[in-house]
Structure 1
Amino acid sequence: MGIDIVNFYSSYGSYHNNLVNKAIHLVCIPLILLSAVQIMNHYTFTIDTGCCKLNIGLIMLFVLALVYMAVDFLSGILASSFYISVTLLLNQHFANADEAQWSHHLCVATTFQVTCWILQFIGHGVFEKRAPALLDNILQIFVAPDFVFLEIMFFLGYKPQIHKACQVQIENSIKQFRNDKKQK
């Protein structure tokens, strides 16, 4: 039993309908997640399992994988595989970093965080003309990385009936939002 993909995706999609805002999010959301996990590497415990070193960031990615697969199995597998693989590669790359490299790593990850968040707020304020979804539901932060994959997959023709149902619900939600805004 999964999560209703139409309602779940549409609740996110109604905040991301402008093409420029979508493009910003397609780039920034993966960078925000990956840089957040890298920042966590600096401030959390590490457990050496032999095959990899587990930390809070990697554990969080495994939990998110379950959520993503509950929304849509294929996109969940693809999204989770991407985020976990990149994280493991970055973790391996910086496993034996000296103090200067480790400090630079934190600086770069933090710069990605700040820059991407600013770009997303610009995308919402300037192009979407609507507050970010996370202001209505903070949990959107955790599911947005899967929505990036669904967005790309829908664009490539994945599950066209579901995509169409999502688009109808998104359009209705945006109309409702605009009507409510006019009435205020």
Structure 2
Amino acid sequence: MSKLETLLSQYAAYHLDHKNVLTHFVGIPLIVFSIMCLTARLGITVEGFEITIALVLIIASVVYYLRLDKVFGFIMLVIFAAVYPLSLMIAKMSLGAWLGWSVGLFFVGWVIQFIGHFYEKKKPAFMDDVIGLAIGPLFVLAELVFLMGFRKELEQRMLTQARKQRAEMDAKSLQSAHP
């Protein structure tokens, strides 16, 4: 199993309920965008080019995603390139408006995430493994690609492994609840 399949399967083990996955289609983009907005205000200018923390995070994320999968990495690059200018516009607002939008979107995104996990009856994946914070956006992209009918073999391998992992997680929970 590839590193991509392993990471997506681990994440999917916490996201087998369709209502939870649907909430992630809204919550994760809001959270990622809010982080872009928060970090787009901070940076330095080098020879007339503004290098923000958001830009550094985008580059690091895209490099990571490209190493996992060229197609998904490229799609993430396109998405980030399309959204980054909007985050710069928000970052240039007054301090109150910038913080209001950025923190507000962050809060709403997390509320939506936790609503999804209420349906799932599982805590978010990042609570057991912080890499889940980086895999979440990739998972949402993969789910969108699967919904569009592409990469169905990857989807099946991911789901098969995720269901096995979920069964193991549930068995451990039962054992710890009933010693």
TM-score, length of structure 1 as denominator length: 0.86
CA contact (8 A) 1:34 1:83 kept: no
Following the alignment from structure 2 to structure 1, what is the Cα–Cα distance between the partners of residues 153 and 78?
A: 25
Change in CA separation of 1:49 and 1:159 when aligned onto 2, cut-off 3 Å: farther
> 2:77 aligned with 1:80, yes or no?
yes
1:174 equivalent among 161, 166, 179: 166
Q: Write the deviation string for residues 3-57 of structure 1: whole angstroms up to 9, x where unpaired.
A: 6221111011111111111111111111111111111234x2232554x522011
Structure 1 position 89, deviation (Å): 3.5
Change in CA separation of 1:69 and 1:165 when aligned onto 2, cut-off 3 Å: same
Residue pairs, 1:84-99, within 5 angstroms: 84-91=81-88, 93-94=89-90, 97=93, 99=94
> 2:124 aligned with 1:132, yes or no?
yes
Structure 1 position 95, deviation (Å): 7.0
Following the alignment from structure 1 to structure 2, what is the Cα–Cα distance between the partners of residues 159 and 41?
A: 33
Following the alignment from structure 1 to structure 2, what is the Cα–Cα distance between the partners of residues 139 and 158?
A: 25
Structure 1 position 69, deviation (Å): 1.2
> 2:107 aligned with 1:119, yes or no?
no
Identity of aligned residues (%): 23
> 2:53 aligned with 1:61, yes or no?
no
Following the alignment from structure 2 to structure 1, what is the Cα–Cα distance between the partners of residues 170 and 91?
A: 50
Counterpart for residue 155 of structure 1: 147
Structure 1 position 104, deviation (Å): 1.0
> 2:51 is paired with a residue of what secondary structure?
strand
Structure 1 position 123, deviation (Å): 1.6
Change in CA separation of 1:96 and 1:4 when aligned onto 2, cut-off 3 Å: closer
Following the alignment from structure 2 to structure 1, what is the Cα–Cα distance between the partners of residues 140 and 47?
A: 30
> 2:45 aligned with 1:47, yes or no?
yes
Q: Which runs of 5+ in 1 are unaligned?
A: none
The size of the alignment, in residue pairs, is 175
Structure 1 position 83, deviation (Å): 1.8
CA contact (8 A) 2:5 2:157 kept: yes
Following the alignment from structure 2 to structure 1, what is the Cα–Cα distance between the partners of residues 73 and 150?
A: 13
Matched AA of 1:25: H
Q: Write the deviation string for residues 74-117 of structure 1: whole angstroms up to 9, x where unpaired.
A: 111112210232112431x35764x3xx4213201110101211
Counterpart for residue 7 of structure 2: 8
Matched AA of 2:16: N
Q: Which runs of 5+ in 2 are unaligned?
A: none
Counterpart for residue 109 of structure 1: 102
Change in CA separation of 1:115 and 1:182 when aligned onto 2, cut-off 3 Å: same
